[in-house]
Amino acid sequence: MLGLGLLQSKQLTPDELNAVRKARTEYQDYLVSIQTNSNSDVKNNVITPETGISINNQIQSAYDWLKKNPNATINEVLSNKDSTTTEIQRLLTTDLPKRKFYNSIIALPTILNDLEAKKQIDKKQILDFENIIHSNTKWYEKHKKTATQIDFDQEMLKLKTNISKHFKDAKIVSYIQSQLEFAQQLSNSALESNLNKKDKKNQKLIDQTISLQSNINNMFSTAIKIFFTLVIIVLCMLSGSYAANLAIGRVPAYRILYFIYGCIPLFVPFILVYAIYTRIRDGRIPSYTILPLSIEPATTRLGRFLWKPFYWIPDQHAIDSFKKFQDLLSLQVV
């Protein structure tokens, strides 16, 4: 159906149509690959959950575009793929400093609590520094979608400066800085919890949408195929029945032969056109039963039920047709 729509609306050649189909298929495979890699990168803390969600949203937008533009040309498909790739690359480029900053502000409370447990800092120092952490968290939530790589680098530098100013001990500052470097590379429980809440919900929504779209397309395609198959079968049976009734004046073997020929799809249009012509010319179309074979009725109830499609009652038209056929045979014999 999609191919027929493209062929009719854009006047594409078969080669061009195949090229469009190939481009759409490759685009969809590319989106699946990007989505799989993105989800894996989020899980392994290679990119932030927010970037993973943004990439998934970009992928969903691409799927929506493909759905809304079934008749797009190959250039339009490739152009949309390029724009999607460019946006995803932009998100990934911005993500590295974003991930470092994000992991740092999440890891800081754990690092400080660990220092307090070791009696290297007191509770008051932690409470005072929590205001800085809270301020950085608010900035991140506000600017995480719009901030550039330079913005995140500057905020990370400010955070390190505040750590140096707040904790006077060089050893403590060095320890916090080293732990932040470690946190920027490895995931922690808080990050995994955030991932489970945001990414899984978003991934489930995308998977459900794609699965529903695929199921609907498959169901629609199957229903169309079944419908046209049934229509062809009914037309063939109707044509065969009419051909057999047209031979009502001949012997049953001829009627069976006419029925078989009438069911051949190649002859169906001609026979149906001739039926319409007969209806206009004679005011009726001969129709005695599906396949008229015998005028002898069955004696049992089951026999009458099974024999009904083949049993017929002669009328004057049938009698006249049979006489014409007999006269034709007698002339041939003479």
For 8-44, give the secondary structure using H, E and C.
HHHCCCHHHHHHHHHHHHHHHHHHHHHHHHHHHHHHC
CA 219 – CA 146 distance, rounded (Å): 42
pLDDT given at position 88: 84
Render 165-234 in DSSP notation, one character per residue. Answer: HH---HHHHHHHHHHHHHHHHS--HHHHHHHHHHHHHHHHHHHHHHHHHHHHHHHHHHHHHHHHHHHHHH
pLDDT given at position 196: 52
The residue written with tokens 């009698």 in the block is 319
Q: What is the DSSP letter of 287?
A: -
Residue type at 62?
A
Joined together, the tokens standing for residue 38 give 């993105």
User: Residue 194, CB half-sphere, CA atoms under 13 Å: how many?
Assistant: 18
pLDDT in tens, 80-99: 888 888 888 887 777 777 77
Q: What is the DSSP letter of 294?
A: B
Joined together, the tokens standing for residue 182 give 């470690």
pLDDT in tens, 268-304: 888 888 888 887 887 777 777 777 877 766 667 776 6
User: Residue 289, CB half-sphere, CA atoms under 13 Å: how many?
Assistant: 17
294, β-bridge pairs: 311
What is the pTM (predicted TM-score) of this model? 0.37
311, β-bridge pairs: 294
Joined together, the tokens standing for residue 193 give 């919890």
| Spatial CB neighbours of 151, under 8 Å, sequence gap ≥ 6 | 143
204 and 230 Cβ atoms separated by less than 8 Å: no
Residues in the chain where the model's pLDDT stays below 50: 1-9, 187-192, 194-195, 197-199, 333-334
pLDDT given at position 208: 60
Joined together, the tokens standing for residue 183 give 């946190």
pLDDT given at position 306: 75
pLDDT given at position 145: 74
